[in-house]
Structure 1
Amino acid sequence: MKTFETERLIMKLADLDDADFFLELYNTPSFIQYIGDRNLRTKEDAENYILNRFLPQFQKLGFGNYVVILKEDNTKIGAVGIFEREGLDVLDIGFSFLEKYEGKGYAYESANRLKEVAAIDFGVKKLSAITTKDNFSSQKLIEKLGLKFQKIITIPNDDAELMYYEN
């Protein structure tokens, strides 16, 4: 499952060629506000993040973080993934997009397709999602994906109270 598509999008497994893109995405104000500062300041930081965080999970599980690309012009617009997260017993679906591509249905289109592929190809039937209490657009999207709010949680090494959803 290195790549898959929707009508408007291509999702490809994140690799070192995406370092510049992740450096940009992970430093947007909304990413830092709602997801957190991953301390990526250079292309080398982004490459190390991909090597140490994304690729080991792909090797272990067969899936992970995907770059979302517009079919019409091959522009990288966001990322969607299913992750093992410390402190969560259920695999976590997550998404982030460059601000100019938010509100156009790309996050739902890509996350819903990833959810389908994970279920069919890997038997992943149960997913979770976490978001901050003030990230209303993510809450709406998570619910549209069929996950339901369960409880407020914290995850290791993070004091923020997060809304935890499961399907």
Structure 2
Amino acid sequence: MTIVITTDRLQLRTITSDDAAFYLALVNDPAFIENIRDKGIRTLEEARTDIVNGPVANQEKIGFSLYVVERKEDGQAMGLCGLVKRESLKNIDLGYAFLPQFLGQGYAREAARATLAYANTHLCISKLAAITSPNNLASNKLLQDLGFQLEAVVVLAGESRDTNLYGYEF
């Protein structure tokens, strides 16, 4: 586990297979399933496998991934925030998801803002994408508040529903 980003209240760190219980809860949260997708992960072992084959492999292969967002004061894992390279998008994607009890407290905004700074200063990325469900009003508002511009409504490869595609340039 490596701490990658810190803010006043948060630390963002690499995810490990030890985070399987947290990850399992997050990907099975009804809002995650509705607004992102149902990953079909139902057991701790499936969660461990997805962590290793997803974020851990990406971190090793391309140098970034989704990070566990923890509260500094107590180390409580609250959500994920980081960068994703999707085959279906031209630009690297800012992604985030939080457990419901941590919404509405500014944690997603703080983590996303710090991730934007990290992408630009440490990874020298000049343009990012972000995607949301058109119905996810809170996420759409957050992206707009961060300076993302809605570029198009698209249907991503392998999906059947509309997705808002945002762009951000440093």
State the TM bucket, normalised to the shorter chain. Answer: over 0.9
Q: What is aligned with 2:81?
A: 80
Q: Aligned residue for 1:11?
A: 12
After TM superposition, the structure 1 = structure 2 runs for residues 4-153 of structure 1, keeping only pairs within 5 Å, are 4-153=5-154
User: Matched residue of 2:122: which SS?
Assistant: helix
Which digits, 9 at most, give the CA deviation of each residue in 1:107-131, with x for residues without a partner?
Answer: 0100110110111111012100011
Long gaps (5+) in structure 2: none
Secondary structure of 2:94's counterpart equals strand
Is contact 1:54-1:65 (8 Å) kept? yes
Contact kept, 8 Å, 1:86 with 1:155, in 2: the verdict is no
Segments of structure 1 that go 5 or more residues without pairing to the other structure are none
After TM superposition, the score normalised by the length of structure 1 is 0.97
Q: Output the aligned Cα RMSD.
A: 1.0
**SS in structure 2 of the partner of residue 81 of structure 1:** strand
| Structure 1 runs, 4 residues or longer, greater than 3 Å off | none
**Aligned counterparts of 2:63 and 2:87: Cα–Cα separation in 1:** 18
Q: Secondary structure at the match of 2:139?
A: helix
Alignment-mate amino acid for residue 70 of structure 1:
R
> Whole-Å Cα distance in 2 between the matches of residues 105 and 130 of structure 1?
19
Distance in 1 between residues matched to 2:8 and 2:52, nearest whole Å: 30
For residue 127 of structure 2, give the secondary structure of its aligned residue in structure 1: coil
Equivalent pair of 2:67/2:80 in contact (CA under 8 Å): yes
Q: Secondary structure at the match of 1:94?
A: strand
Distance 2:33 2:21 in 1: 17
Query: Does the 8 A contact of 2:81 with 2:111 survive in 1?
Result: yes
Letter aligned with residue 24 of structure 2: L
Letter in 2 for 1:125: S
CA distance in 1, matches of 2:102, 2:3: 23
